[in-house]
């Protein structure tokens, strides 16, 4: 039975959770028996606090080692505990690698995955001959010591923008009803030794962003010309693209939703919600 559709008691509420986590020691977002996952940790704590069976639905699956500054999830409950109190009760019980930034009542129609309009992933590269060990930055950046030409990477990145078949950027074995996805932007910036690649899209294939980054690195280091990216996409062949960039450099920054779904539209009154600090990226 889909726990999101089951009536728990009297009046149900749909709660939106805003979550940040260090994915280094997790086996990804999705629950896996016998393994530490972010979804598993959230569900375990939520069941203890809300005292009923439930399912925490995430905006999408992040792989093992991938981080999040603004992951979004939702859970349905019949508990009358105010959102602010739930924020404190849940947040204080989560593992230290997970931070709960917000709990709020939203529309019963809100679904963390299906309602998402777009999401942004940021990939960080430490482009220097020395390792980024200060402040444990090596957990959140890919150390690439060869010099990278950001202008060439930007020229190549423009080929990723638009609605197209991204089969060449999906990991081998990724099978979906359609391999067509829409990338709204692919921006590349450099600040001293750090290169940030921001990819915003309506949805992504398995490892799509990391494969895009690996391809851009090949261009940036001078192995490929920027125009080759178009040929790779047209080929729809994963073997033509660059290597998969390591998980540690990737972070889910935020997920965007229709404003009308972010407030309750039922009869149980206005929600009491916390005012969390701004979400800080790892």
Domain regions of the chain by residue span: 3-115+257-261, 118-253
Structure tokens at 93: 């019980």
**CATH T-level topology, domain 118-253:** Alpha-Beta Plaits (3.30.70)
Q: Over range 254-264, report the average pLDDT.
A: 95
Three-state secondary-structure class, residue 189: strand
| Predicted local distance difference test score (pLDDT) of residue 9 | 45
Question: What does the pLDDT read at residue 10?
Answer: 53
* Mean pLDDT (the chain, rounded): 90
Q: Over the range 81-117, which residues count as b (16 or more CB within 10 Å of their CB) and which as e?
A: bebeebbbbbbeebbebbbbbbbbbbbeebbbeebbe
Position 280 pLDDT exceeds 70 = no
Q: Are 16 and 110 in contact (CB under 8 A)?
A: yes
Q: Are strands 118-126 and 67-77 parallel, antiparallel or unpaired?
A: unpaired
Residues acting as catalytic residues:
63
Cα gap 156→110, rounded to integer Å:
36
CB 106 within 8 A of CB 15: yes
The whole-number pLDDT of residue 278 equals 43
Using CA atoms, how far apart are residues 80 and 101, in angstroms rounded to an integer?
20
Residue 121, Cβ density class (10 Å: 0-12 exposed, 13-18 middle, ≥19 buried): buried
Q: What is the pLDDT of residues 7-46, one digit of tens each?
A: 334 589 999 999 999 999 999 999 888 999 999 999 999 9
- Report the range of poorest mean pLDDT among 48-52, 54-58, 76-80, 175-179: 175-179
Cβ atoms of 181 and 205 closer than 8 Å: yes
Domains 3-115+257-261 and 118-253 share a fold: yes
Whole-angstrom Cα distance, residue 160 to residue 242? 14
Do 142 and 217 contact (CB within 8 A), yes or no? no
The DSSP H or E segment spanning 8 is none
Pairing of strands 98-106, 13-21: antiparallel
pLDDT above 50: residue 274: no
Helix ranges, the chain (H)? 38-50, 83-91, 150-157, 208-220, 228-235
pLDDT of 279 reads 46
Measured in residues, the chain has a length of: 282
| CATH class held by domain 3-115+257-261 | alpha beta
pLDDT given for residue 5 in this prediction: 37
Phi-psi region of 162 (alpha: psi -120 to 50; beta: other; left: phi over 0): left
Q: Model confidence over 137-190: pLDDT tens digits?
A: 889 999 999 999 999 999 999 999 999 999 999 987 666 779 999 999 999 999
Query: What pLDDT is recorded for position 268?
Result: 42
Residue 218 has pLDDT above 50, yes or no: yes
Q: Which residues touch 56 (CB under 8 Å, ≥6 apart)?
A: 17, 39, 42, 43, 46, 73, 74, 75
């Amino acid at each position: 039975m889909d726990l999101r559709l089951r009536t728990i008691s009297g009046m149900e509420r749909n709660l939106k959770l805003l979550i940040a986590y260090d994915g280094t020691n997790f086996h990804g977002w999705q629950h896996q028996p016998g393994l530490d996952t972010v979804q598993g940790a959230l569900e375990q704590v939520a069941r203890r606090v809300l005292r009923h069976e439930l399912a925490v639905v995430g905006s999408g699956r992040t792989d093992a080692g991938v981080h999040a500054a603004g992951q979004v999830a939702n859970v349905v409950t019949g508990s009358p505990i105010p959102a602010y109190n739930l924020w404190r009760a849940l947040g204080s019980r989560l593992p230290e690698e997970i931070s709960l930034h917000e709990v709020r009542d939203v529309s019963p129609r809100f679904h963390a995955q299906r309602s998402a309009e777009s999401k942004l992933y940021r990939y960080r590269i430490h482009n220097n001959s020395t390792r980024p060990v200060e402040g444990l930055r090596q957990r959140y950046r890919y150390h690439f010591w060869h010099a990278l030409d950001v202008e060439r990477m930007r020229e190549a990145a423009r080929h990723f923008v638009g609605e197209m078949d991204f089969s060449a950027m999906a990991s081998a074995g990724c099978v979906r009803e359609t391999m067509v996805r829409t990338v709204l932007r692919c921006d590349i910036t450099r600040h001293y030794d750090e290169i940030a690649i921001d990819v915003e899209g309506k949805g992504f294939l398995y490892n799509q962003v990391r494969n895009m980054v690996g391809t851009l690195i090949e261009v940036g280091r001078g192995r490929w010309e920027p125009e080759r990216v178009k040929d790779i996409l047209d080929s729809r062949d994963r073997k033509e693209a660059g290597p998969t960039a390591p998980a540690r450099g990737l972070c889910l920054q935020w997920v965007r939703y229709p404003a009308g779904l972010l407030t309750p539209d039922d009869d149980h009154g206005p929600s009491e919600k916390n005012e969390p600090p701004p979400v800080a990226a790892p």
